[in-house]
Structure formats: C-alpha cells, structure tokens
Amino acid sequence: MKRTDITDLFPDATKEQIDKLMGINGSDINAAKGDVDGLRAQLATAQSELQQLKAGNAGNPDEIQETKNALAAVQAELAGMKRAETIRVMREKVSGEKKIPANLLTGETEETCTAQADAILTFAKSCGYPAVQDGGEAGHPATPSTRDSFANWAEQNL
C-alpha cells in the first residue's frame, strides 16, 4: 500500500491518519514476512536433514519418515501462507478499485471479489430513507392514530 492509495481512497485524510495507516500496514507486512522467514528456515533445516538421511548419514527409517513428514507439513504451511497472502493482496486491489472496505470481500478470485464489490455497491445505492407517512412537510396534519396505523397495516399485509 502506498500513501497515494490512501489519499485516493480518503482525500480528506490528514498526514497523521495516513502515517498511522501506513504504520499498521507495515507492521502487518513485517509480521507476515517474519512468519514466512521462519518457515523458510524450518524448510531449509528439514531439507538439510532429509539430504543427510538420503546420504545415509543419519540413519534409521523411522527418522527418515519423520523428517519427510515434517518437511511435507512445513511445505504445506508455507504454501497456505503464500496463498493467503496472494488472496489478501488481490482483495486489497479490488477494494482500492471499487472504493469499498477489503474486509467485506470474501472471494478467493479477482472475478468473485469484483462481483461481490459490485453487489455491495448496488445494495448500498438501492437503500434509501423510508417513506414518511406525511411526506415530511411542515404544517402537515399529524400522523394517524395507532389504531388507524394498525388498520392500514392490516389491510396491506393480511
């Protein structure tokens, strides 16, 4: 995320607000990078151990299987994190294009998120204020009594 992205979404944002958003975004990115770096280190360790096992330096078949299982688990976790990051970036992109909050998007493809964003915008535009019985005009007679309102409602809905 760049400062221009924030100013495009929120033209009235102050420098302090933009700095705070950038700080939050930076800490989220650094946390994700830290997780990925940790997983990469685990993967490298597991791969090294696997190479030792393949070379016959470490030994028994149970250790080999355990190492293979650990390696597969780390690779699966890393793949999941990469997928989650890809989806997050895509949602941010659609969010910026459509000018809606990214947390409202749940799709896992750009097409799905774009369709969701369009549906949200359509819904938001279709919702208006409810009709006021007296039209909201000054000097208009008071609204009907509760009995009359209930009778009108019953005629319309029953």
Q: At what angle do helices 61-98 and 15-55 cross, to 10 degrees?
A: 160
Instruction: Note every long-range contact of 31-40, with CB atoms under 8 Å and residues 24 or more positions apart, other chains counting.
Output: 32/81, 32/85, 35/81, 36/78, 36/81, 36/82, 39/74, 39/77, 39/78, 39/81, 40/78
pLDDT tens for each residue of 15-41: 888 888 888 888 888 777 777 888 888
- Say what the pLDDT of residue 129 is: 64
- Say what the pLDDT of residue 7 is: 77
pLDDT tens for each residue of 58-91: 557 787 788 889 999 999 999 999 999 999 999 9
- Say what the pLDDT of residue 80 is: 92
> Is the model's pLDDT at 142 over the cut of 80?
no
pTM of the model: 0.43
